[in-house]
Structure 1
Amino acid sequence: MRNAIVDYAIPRAKLADAKARDARYKSTEATAALVEQARRSFTDLSTTGEGGEMLLFLLAERFLQLPQILCKMDLKTDGRMHYHGADGVYAGVTDSGILKLYWGESKIYQKVASAISNCLSSLAPFLVEPEGESAERERDLVLLSDKADLSDPALTGALRRYFDRNSPLSNRVQYCGVALVGFDADFYPSDGGKAVSKEIETAARKELEGWRTKIGNRLSAEKLNLFEIHFFCLPLPSAEGFRDAFLKAMGLRNES
């Protein structure tokens, strides 16, 4: 994850400019500067959820092939402050030209039920609220109209049509979600213990049905049953340990 911080936190256009400058001067200075800029954009707060948000980015882009088109890290004015909006916006376009906007949400909690409940209650307003200036997604949509980070021609065209309110194709959009929940799982060995990876996998698959039930119940409670939502479940030895390890890996907390 640490090695992907520039991919996550720096807009593609800015990274492309840095690479072009380095190629021109046969240097790595511009790209190295972006690494430091990206690192400084992360908070050092012990309660940070940015590790989960970055992991959601990696899973969405690499496994779902959904490019991030709006990153909250580039919008922060203070490294210790959190941007109030979705944990990133991702996008895709169908063969028929329908734009699919995926609002991202990540929660890393000790309890699986709390992680699922808080994740979907945070995601729900971006999907279910009626169109209008007071909708939760409106701020992100305004930012998208100006700051969308695009590299795919088909996606660029679909997004331009969406924001052209004079176009009859501007309503060809579908709001979706992509979510990640991390939580403590008791099938990992205790500190200093060992386990066979296959046994951990088997235990996780056994627990999966329970997680699916909790997700289904919460989807119904939030009236999200009819929305397309990609959901990642991340059982962890320790949610607190994940946050601590992330801060250390980022150089935001001293090794101890």
Structure 2
Amino acid sequence: MSQLTEPLPSLEEILAKLLDESELDSVLGCAVDGHSKDGNPPRLSLLHLRFNEDTPNLDNLVSYLCSQAMNYALNRKRRDGFIAELQNAKNGNLSVIQRINKAVRDAFIEFREAFPNRASEVGEVLAFCIATHYLQASQLIAKMSLKTSPNMPVHGLDGVHAAVKGDTLTVYFLESKLTSTAAKGLKDFAESIKGFDGKPKQYAREYELVCNLGNLDTLPENEREHLLGYLDVYSKASVLKRERSVGVVCYSEEKHYSNVLPIDDGDVQKHENHFAGLFAADHEVHQKYLLGQLKKHELLPGKCSVYLVAVPSVATLRKSFYSELGIPPIEDEQDDTNAKEA
């Protein structure tokens, strides 16, 4: 008697195996959720630091991003290998943790030494966290694990994630920007998307990397092949998916963070709520500017969305991130955000 084969899981169930858990809302608040807000595209969400009473807590964001750098930088196969070592360790041996930390730190150091003017990985980790949390989208490829290889192009998408939305597979192309102002970041995002759209070879290359060097190799073969049917640009099922460009623009918002309320014994959250109100009032202006930039580059607003993340100082965020990872500063490193941005 032939054995019955188990039914193939849905695409949503397959991708769930690659989805990282997220607690991003513990360090970032949302002033405007553009993905749930009715209105015309492009969708624009406004995110900000959580407050410790009257103080925006940048340190908590830095610590969270550093903890997630492991998930961002290491591909699934390597992560699973480390997990197996921990599970099989005897007598409480935790020595593998030091090797995990070293693997992540070395990946960032090698890239930073090769491309000292980019100094942008904190933005890419932030984009990874936002895609995981707000889009519930699984990382399809660990781009950091490829960046230090001399055979891999450093210029390209900052991330490729996927989720099932409305019974349809949606692939998200991530672009991260660290900028001095919101306007500059939105402008740079539109220019980057236009550059990517205008290079069909790069488009095909990204999918090739996902299919051949991505996180899918940890899935059972039948599930992997099912998902590859949608991601291989030459397959028939490849037309049965959506593609969306997602920007994560982290910028220095000095004005609103400087607009503080007096300290009293009232509502402890009033300071964060005050900032969120000021920030939310800018939504229409930012969205109008983004729309103008997309139209200028002949991009479809319905296929683009942006998460605008306000911090008091991008330079401080970047320096603190590298410091917490244990990466020493590079001599003559620029303090401003006019260096090559994410």
Where does the alignment leave 5 or more consecutive residues of structure 2 unmatched?
1-64, 264-269, 330-342
Where does the alignment leave 5 or more consecutive residues of structure 1 unmatched?
none
Q: Distance in 2 between matches of 1:110 and 1:145?
A: 36
- Alignment length (residue pairs): 247
Which amino acid in the other structure matches residue 15 of structure 1? R
- The question of whether the paired residues in 2 share the 8 Å contact of 1:163 and 1:170 is answered with yes
Matches within 5 A, 1:27-106: 27-42=93-108, 43=112, 45=116, 47-77=118-148, 83-94=154-165, 96=167, 98-106=168-176
Residue matched to 1:112: 182
Q: Distance in 1 between matches of 2:304 and 2:312?
A: 26
Q: Distance in 2 between matches of 1:118 and 1:240?
A: 18
* CA RMSD, Structure 1 to Structure 2 (Å): 3.1
Q: Distance in 2 between matches of 1:222 and 1:71?
A: 29
Percent identity between the aligned chains? Answer: 23
Q: Distance in 2 between matches of 1:93 and 1:158?
A: 14
Q: Over alpha carbons, which structure has the higher Rg?
A: 2
**TM-score, scaled relative to structure 1:** 0.83
User: Which protein has greater RCO, CA pairs closer than 8 Å, 6+ apart?
Assistant: 2
Residue matched to 1:14: 78
What displacement does 1:235 show?
A: 1.5
| Larger displacement relative to structure 2 (47-56 or 149-158) | 149-158
Residue matched to 2:6: none
- The question of whether the paired residues in 1 share the 8 Å contact of 2:140 and 2:160 is answered with yes
Q: Distance in 1 between matches of 2:292 and 2:166?
A: 32
- The question of whether the paired residues in 1 share the 8 Å contact of 2:177 and 2:189 is answered with yes
Matches within 5 A, 1:86-235: 86-94=157-165, 96=167, 98-126=168-196, 128-129=197-198, 132=200, 134=201, 136-150=202-216, 156-162=224-230, 167-185=235-253, 186-189=255-258, 196-235=271-310
- The question of whether the paired residues in 2 share the 8 Å contact of 1:184 and 1:239 is answered with yes
Which amino acid in the other structure matches residue 122 of structure 1? S
- The alpha-carbon distance between structure 1 residues 175 and 33, as it changes in their structure 2 partners (threshold 3 A), is same
Q: Distance in 1 between matches of 2:176 and 2:153?
A: 13
- The alpha-carbon distance between structure 1 residues 166 and 2, as it changes in their structure 2 partners (threshold 3 A), is closer
Q: Which whole-Å deviations, capped at 9, do the CAs of 1:121-153 have from their partners, x for residues lacking one? A: 112343x347x5x3x222212211201213678
